Amino acid sequence: MPVLNDVTHVRAAVDSILTQHYDGPVEVLIALGPSIDGTAELVADLAARDGRVRVLDNEVGSTPAGLNIGIRAARYPVVVRVDSHSMLRPDYTRIAVATLERTGADNVGGIMDAHGETAFERAVALAYTTKVGLGGGSFHVGGHEGPADTVYLGVFRREALERVGLFDEGIKRGQDWELNRRLRETGGTVWFTPELAVTYRPRSSLDRLARQMFSTGMWRGELARRFPASNGIRYFIPPAMVLGVTLGLLVGIGGLVQLTMGVAPWLLVGFAVPAVYLLFVAASTLVYARGRGAGTAGWFLVVLPCIHVSWGVGFVLGFLALTSNIARHTGR
């Protein structure tokens, strides 16, 4: 579990690991990045209370660096990747190990089952688990068991991770997808099963959500540029929407200029593009947020475009090879 400045969620995540219904030996390896919010003190306390918990120093602080530190320090042949925002169900490890043995896969995983506590978090969770939010991948909305391109988090054979050289530490987000791509290219199988569901706690504010989506989209764009043949069409829909709405607004503004000049304002037709997108957001809210409370529905109207725009803008910048420059200035 890579951890960085996440004092709010770490204890629940670790508790969910220590209470697994699994008969084999278990160790919890926390790769701690430079934290200033009390996370370091919290994980030190967790390690002091339970000998199965070990804290490892992750000076770099990035997720892939933390994952590799944990894998290299691991003593057992199965590696369970855990996120500090996630909580494992009690039978998660048992089902995952049994699925590894049954299928012969290198990695098995399931669904990111997002749950929020506030109206805003519930709106984010709803967006995560619907096709209109994050594109409808099986690890978001479910599906049939079988081979997959990627899965949420993952339970790996350690020997498979070593075979492909562990996680690429140059990829700050999307490293799971890229690793799974290498596993498949070297003859391994990535296996999805809806039996595995991990409870995920969404970001708690619009600002944090926007920053998360921008960073994720930026690295997704970088990966799409590096590996163009390995990307599905769903990854290109948000950036296409951003470009289309932006162009439509610019053309529509040109129509307003035509009006002031006394010219036939035919360029006003450009406003049809953002209008169609707004209708899409409104219709999606009616379909997916109905019956979930006024607060959740109201936030869904804001959360959905926040995800689309932040992710889409990030994707465009990443695809244009601006990832390294932005990451250097933002630390992401």
Question: What is the per-residue DSSP string for 197-249?
Answer: EEEEPPPSSHHHHHHHHHHHHHHHHHHHHH-GGG--GGGGHHHHHHHHHHHHH
CATH number of residue 184's parent domain: 3.90.550.10
44 contacts: CB under 8 Å, gap ≥ 6: 55
Tens digits of pLDDT across the chain (332 residues): 999 988 888 999 999 999 999 998 999 999 999 988 899 999 999 999 999 999 999 999 999 999 999 999 999 999 999 998 888 999 999 999 999 999 999 999 998 888 888 999 999 999 988 888 876 555 555 678 999 988 989 999 999 999 999 999 988 888 999 999 999 999 999 999 999 988 888 888 999 999 999 998 999 899 888 888 767 777 888 899 999 999 999 999 999 999 999 989 999 999 999 999 999 999 999 999 988 999 999 999 999 999 999 999 999 999 888 655 544 444 44
Q: How far apart are CA 223 and CA 327, in angstroms?
A: 14
Q: Are residues 313 and 243 in the same domain?
A: yes
Per-residue confidence (pLDDT) for residue 57, from 0 to 100:
95
Domain boundary among 204, 224, 247: 204
**Distance from C-alpha of 84 to C-alpha of 154, rounded to nearest angstrom:** 14
Q: Does residue 228 form part of some domain?
A: no
Report which of 39, 38, 43 is spatially closest to residue 14, judged by C-alpha positions: 43
Query: How far is residue 207's CA from residue 241's CA, in Å, rounded to a whole number?
Result: 21
Task: Report pLDDT for 329.
Answer: 46
Q: Is residue 184 part of a domain?
A: yes
Closest CA to 57 of 45, 46, 49, 65: 65
Is residue 149, in this structure, part of any structural domain at all? yes
Domain membership flag for residue 226: no
Backbone angles phi, psi at 155, to 5 degrees: -120, 115
**Residue closest to 190 by CA, chosen among 140, 222, 154:** 154
Name which of 133, 60, 100 is nearest 327 in CA terms. 60
45 domain residue, yes or no = yes
Regarding whether 181 and 103 lie in a shared domain, the answer is yes
The number of distinct structural domains making up the chain is 2
> CA–CA separation, 77 vs 332, rounded Å?
31
Q: Bridge partners of 30?
A: 55
| Distances, alpha carbon 284 to alpha carbons 43, 76, 126, 131, in Å | 41, 46, 11, 10
Give the domain extent around 306.
233-330
**Are 246 and 167 part of one and the same domain?**
no
Give a yes or no: residue 319 inside a domain: yes
Do 160 and 11 share a domain, yes or no? yes
